[in-house]
Amino acid sequence: MATMTLARGRAKGTGTVDAALRRLTAFEAGTHRVVSCYLKLEPRDRVRGKYLIKLKNRVRDLEAVLPRLGLERTVQEEVSRDLARILAYLGSPGNLPSANGIALFACGPRKLFEAVPLPSVHRSRLAVDRTPLVRELVAVQEEFGRLYTVVMDRTSARIFAVTADAAREVSSLVSASTRGGRYRGDQDGPGWGEHSYNNRIREERQRHADSVARELYTLDRREAAHGIVLAGPGADAGVLAPFLHPDLRGRLFGTVKLNPKELSPAAVHAATLEVRAAAKREEERALVAEVRSKVGERWAVNGIAETLRALARGQVRTLLVDADAAEPGYRCSATGRLVLDPADARGEGEALPVVDVVDEAIEDALRQHVPINVVFEPEAAKKLRGLAGLLRFR
């Protein structure tokens, strides 16, 4: 996927997420500050410009807290200008990628403006720091990993390796088949019969599916995938599932309708992202149910204050976030711990205000390599009190 930098006022494409990471990790802001913005751009976020309304609200909240962050007035003004540049960039529909998310990094005095399309974003957030907050870029690459998407019909199959950036065809198969068309009693001479004809078709399909399943298993042995997506025209989308090796079957994300003969890597990438997103929603519901069942056993916490304490202790093994949760708070200057009340920072240095402890908790979880699940499914989200966590120890 293309990234863009703005140098001397001109945007230009500059490569993949990996390329952006190399540039951003080497970037030095000096005495200035970098604005980091992660924005969800899923179809529901684009309806009536909802993404832009939410971003404007976050910009307003961040600008309101800037005077309390201890920044010099000139630095505050630089940050405000960078926020305006981000809003202007995202306010132009032509700048929006087709991807489900985007990350932007801006530092006007150092000529930085980087826009990185992403297959997913945990949740929309804004932050100001001395360095670009790139941990989510790293996490996207690591969490997404590699998926195999198999697009097949009765006689052919194409297998794609799908990463966070793109889809690449890695194998294709074509199987011999009986001549198509509707059965006719005299087809291919006496003795053929409708029953034999249908049996032949069924056997050919089974042999074809078995060949595709063996090829997929071979590819996975060579380069393992995090998940499998099956695709095909109509009801053929899931015909391969019973033939998969049990290990692959356990990593099946779902199915989608696609025609292998009329297909582009971009279409495969987009369809795979949709199936993966649906699988993630199912995972969210299961994790919320697990939290609720384990709170009483003290193997889980549910609530912002409780989860922040567990996160500071390194107890959290999986962080769950209500997609709509937001809460102002503080970070202890001596320990880095997040708290909701400045009184809770007693003995841990100065209580420095933060715009949203939920966003800050996501960054802390990324720093600790803790898996993050932002819960969007409404019924599941209602069962969370802002933040929750499954614990690695009590």
pLDDT per residue over 251-279, tens digit each? 999 999 988 877 899 899 989 988 988 88
Return the SS3 of 139: helix
Average pLDDT, integer, range 217-224:
94
Going by pLDDT thresholds of 50, 70 and 90, the confidence category of residue 307 is very high
Model confidence at 1: pLDDT above 50 = no
Q: How far apart are the first and last CA of the chain?
A: 42
- Looking only at Cα atoms, what is the longest distance across the chain? 94
pLDDT above 70 covers what percent of the chain? 90
CA–CA dist 122, 186 (Å, integer): 61
The pLDDT score that the predictor gives to residue 227 is 92
The pLDDT score that the predictor gives to residue 136 is 85
The pLDDT score that the predictor gives to residue 148 is 96
Measured in degrees and rounded to the nearest 5, phi and psi for residue 15 equal 120, -150
Q: Which residue has the higher pLDDT, 294 or 359?
A: 294
What pTM was estimated for this model as a whole? 0.71
pLDDT per residue over 36-58, tens digit each? 999 999 888 888 889 999 899 98
Return left, alpha or beta for 281; rule: phi > 0 is left, psi -120 to 50 is alpha, else beta: alpha
CA–CA dist 315, 47 (Å, integer): 38
Going by pLDDT thresholds of 50, 70 and 90, the confidence category of residue 235 is confident
Measured in degrees and rounded to the nearest 5, phi and psi for residue 33 equal -125, 155
The pLDDT score that the predictor gives to residue 190 is 52
pLDDT per residue over 176-199, tens digit each? 665 555 545 445 555 455 656 566
CA–CA dist 74, 72 (Å, integer): 5
The pLDDT score that the predictor gives to residue 385 is 93
The pLDDT score that the predictor gives to residue 202 is 75
